[in-house]
Structure 1
Amino acid sequence: MSKRLAIMVVTQIPLWSMDKETGGPALSQMVFGYARAGHSVHLVTPELPYVSQADLPEGVVLHTFKHAFHGAFIGIKKVGWLFDAAGWLVFQRRAGKIGRRLLREQHFDVIYGYDVWGIPCARKLADSFRLPMVSRFQGTRMNRWIGARMGSLRFFKYFKAFRTPADLYIMTNDGSRGDRLLKRFQVDESRLRFWRNGVDIECAEEGASEARRRLGLEPGNEILLTLCRLVPEKGVQHAVRAMPEVLERFPTARLVVVGEGPYRAELESLASGLGISEQVLFTGGLDRKSVAAMLQAADVFVSMYDHSNVGNPLLEALSCGKAIVTSDVGATGEVITHGENGLLLPPDGLSRLGEVVCDLLSDNALRAKLGLGARGWAAANLTDWQERIDMEISEIARLVGEWQAVG
């Protein structure tokens, strides 16, 4: 290994998005990947009850602060964005205070702003202490708001982050076309890296029977699977609404909803109102091994996000060779080729989801064909997480070297 890097990461994003070792893997994989490669990471972030220093590997140091607005009141209609703005301001002040203290006490090579809350704070710290700065985006929802009335006010934190200059921009290629948005803000394209997340998942056949057993399901139960954080824009409600039609033709079918979030109660109420509470199973957040087992057990994987479906759940479903039904939004169609490695529904055709799922459940040959195509696409196009993080480490090491050469 070349020079050991000392990196300060500033972020509001939880290390695990649902609970300890459950939820989206991007931040934890990045932080732990740096540590595995021998670098040190100091994570400046709001405290959460399920994340502590004892949970972290050697080389990762947690610096937390109380953040009263973190996750609170944001969902209130019409005025929730005001609480969000207040929370953003509190975060900038408290994270900045910790960052300045750390920078006075020890040496750092680079400041890393992770997503839209962390980026402006990281920029100020980097300027104050004359260090290179990295902006990392987990995709974007902003394309639809460019030029929209009230868009720049309600989503000011996104505009602020995209307008913040950086020495290196890393945009996740999640199908939301964030690279185009950064170019629209006239960033230096030579400093932009547009990469998919890594995928580490092992779908072993023996895990499928155990996953079914835990849910009380028999081998004859057809499983439709969704896997995401439970918020409205993830579109799980479309799968729930499709279930009555599916159950008419496949009465033993079950919709398994893996994930947790503020929309869960509303989804449960929707299932109850449709009279299908016993056929829609909510598991909550699962660890990575259990997620792999559920994917292996699934007959059909369903993803109906509003903005793009090319996040880790769909990439993992591809890796596991699942028959996928998804909505053709964002750049989803650049990954899923209809009839080859999945089935695409147009955004105005989501009412046909039940019909499409039924046709897929009744056609074993088509499911097998789509699964084979999915696995083939994944093998040709995806990397594991450590390879993905090594690409990033190489870029940051080069940036630090250039910075030190002229400094």
Structure 2
Amino acid sequence: MKVLVIVTAFPRSERDVISPWLWITLRELSRHGVDIEVLSAAFKGLGDTEMWGLKVRRWRYGPPFLEILSYDVAIPEQLKRNPLYYAVVPLFLSGGFLKALSLAKSQSYDLLHVNWPIPLSLLSLPFGDTPKIMTFHHSGLTLAEKFPFLRKIYRGILEGADAVTVNSGFTRRKLLRIFPGLRRVETIPWPPGWETESLPEVEPEEKRILFVGRLVEVKGVEYLLRAHKLLRKKFPDVKLAVVGDGPLRPRLEKLTDELGLRDSVVFTGWKTGEDIVSEYLRASLVVVPSIVDEKGLTESLGVVAIEAMAFGRPVVASDVGGLPDVVTPDAGILVPQKDPEALASAIEKILSDRKLARELSEGARRRFREHFSKEAVAARYHKLYQEVVGEKA
């Protein structure tokens, strides 16, 4: 089976950090015997190449200095930062369409797999009746919400897709509110963005809580700090590591001082590689206290919760967005958002009960292996590929 995967951006080298969950999944699919090719936008003149055994074809859309639209930040964020890039969008799409037209004439594919269908489903048109799967990421629905005319442009293309996939039930519900006529929508998450085969099984430190993420309103760190204040009454030696950075860091550090928590809370900034692995290994549990912010934004899936489960760490998370799809009773505890008392109670329950902590740890590893590992995700996509191609045969 030969599959063309269409994406807005793909790693520029094997050392690049963008979209690691994507290439990890595609490489695993190739191990299932799927012949994968990738069609992606160029970056500053970068041409076709091969990485991880995958042939990568890139479309050019202007002088090299313009070819940054879909790299380093998502396209909606790029447009927000610099509205002048709206003028580049037609070049971006026309360059992609011409490359797709060329491939449709010179190559034969059994299946197209289009990521970020708004706007990239347009690139599927030159391939005619070739079976098509469209994969929505939550951020990709932002444009459809912001610009209603896009719904009219893309509705027919999307309704003609043989299948649509999303990363969570939350994203699925949002998608079907915007495009209610889609005929087959399946929920398939993505794996963590790093290899998990050789993760060591290490006993955690006692009473060490971990948060990982951007320090922005939607992450709900304020409520975790207030919960930590309550926990100190029962566990004077409890520690909290806040791994990440963002615009709210000064305010959150000030709140930490006001709550008298400076001796038990550490703000580490961002960590990667072995450093972030070490943080997960040291943690007794991981907290994802996300909220629905004033703009209605929240977690579409909960990648940090999935990463925690890969290490066998129990998770305490808010019952919002896609987190209920990830954190089930065998792997952690869900609590109402913006509720420090509920957060503190759930954390206390795990820290106070070694048997429960061990059961949740084992359940987290099992759930990760069965639902969120690269093997599990690739197997589900492989099955969908076979079904879609078989239905069109």
TM-score, with normalisation over the residues of structure 2? 0.71
The one-letter code of the counterpart of 1:133 is: K
CA displacement, residues 146-199 of structure 1 (integer Å, 9 cap, x when unaligned) = xxxx9843576678656632432232342415067438734453x433333457
Q: Is the 8 A contact 2:215 2:246 kept in 1?
A: no
Secondary structure in 1 matching 2:308: helix
Measure how far apart 1:243 and its partner are. 5.1
2:4 maps to which residue?
8
Letter in 2 for 1:326: A
Does the CA-based 8 Å contact 2:49-2:57 persist in structure 1?
no
1:61 aligns with 2:47: no
1:35–1:41 CA contact under 8 A, matched in 2 = no
Distance 1:73 1:197 in 2: 20
Decide whether the 8 Å contact of 2:5 with 2:39 is kept in 1.
yes
Question: Would the alpha carbon gap of residues 162 and 244 (structure 1) be closer, same or farther in structure 2, given more than 3 Å must change?
Answer: farther
Number of the residue aligned with 1:214:
none
CA distance in 1, matches of 2:391, 2:367: 37
- The equivalent residue for 2:295 is none
| Distance change (3 Å), C-alpha of 1:269 and 1:348 | closer
Judge conservation of contact 2:101–2:127 (CA < 8 Å) in 1: no
Aligned to 2:200: 204
CA distance 1:57–1:281, change in 2 (3 Å): same
Counterpart Cα distance in 2 of 1:195 and 1:168: 15
Deviation at 1:21, TM superposition (A): 5.9
Matching residue of 1:283: 270
* Pairs within 5 Å for 1:95-244: 95-127=96-128, 130-139=129-138, 152-154=145-147, 164-165=157-158, 166-178=160-172, 181-182=175-176, 185-187=179-181, 189=183, 191-198=184-191, 201-202=196-197, 203-206=199-202, 222-228=207-213, 232-236=217-221, 238-239=223-224
Deviations 1:52-108 (A, max 9, x none): 97782123324154534443895599x669668656545323322332333344333
For the structure 1 residues 281 and 95, does the alpha-carbon distance in structure 2 shift closer, same or farther, using more than 3 Å as the test?
same
1:94 aligns with 2:95: yes
**Residue number among 244, 266, 279 corresponding to 2:247 in the alignment:** 266
- Which residue among 385, 396, 403 is the counterpart of 2:374? 385
Over 3 Å counting, the alpha-carbon distance change for 1:113 and 1:376 in structure 2 is closer
Partner AA of 1:176 in structure 2? F
Letter of the 1:315 counterpart:
I
- Paired position in structure 1 for 2:63: none
* Alpha carbons of structure 1 residues 302 and 44: separation in structure 2 relative to 1, 3 Å: same
Separation in structure 2 between the aligned mates of residue 131 and residue 73 of structure 1, nearest angstrom:
27
Change (3 A) 1:160 1:314: farther
Cα contact 2:48–2:57 (8 A) shared by 1 = yes
| Cα distance, 1:227–1:334 mapped onto 2, change above 3 Å | same
Asked if 1:39 corresponds to 2:35, the answer is yes
Cα deviation for residue 325 of structure 1 reads 0.9
What is the SS of the residue equivalent to 1:279? strand
Please tell me the root mean square deviation across aligned C-alpha atoms, in Å. 4.4
Structure 1 residue aligned with 2:281: 296
| Aligned residue in 1 for 2:332 | 342
The offset of 1:346, in angstroms, is 1.0
1: CA distance, partners of 2:85 / 2:149: 10
SS in 2 for 1:205: coil
1-structure distance, mates of 2:231, 2:119: 44
TM-score by length of 1: 0.69
Query: In the TM superposition, what whole-angstrom CA distance separates every residue of 1:284-342 from its partner, at most 9, and x where no partner exists?
Result: 3x34x76555433211211134434644432342343322110011354455455x532
Q: Residue 370 of structure 1 is aligned with which of 360, 368, 387?
A: 360
One-letter code aligned to 1:346: P
- Measure, in 2, the Cα distance between the counterparts of 1:159 and 1:246: 51
Question: 1:90-145 deviations in whole A, cap 9, x for unaligned?
Answer: 53233223323333443333332102445433333334xx5332211235786xx9
TM-superposed deviation, 1:201: 2.7
**Within 1, Cα distance between the matches of 2:19 and 2:54?**
21
* Separation in 1, partners of 2:332, 2:312: 10
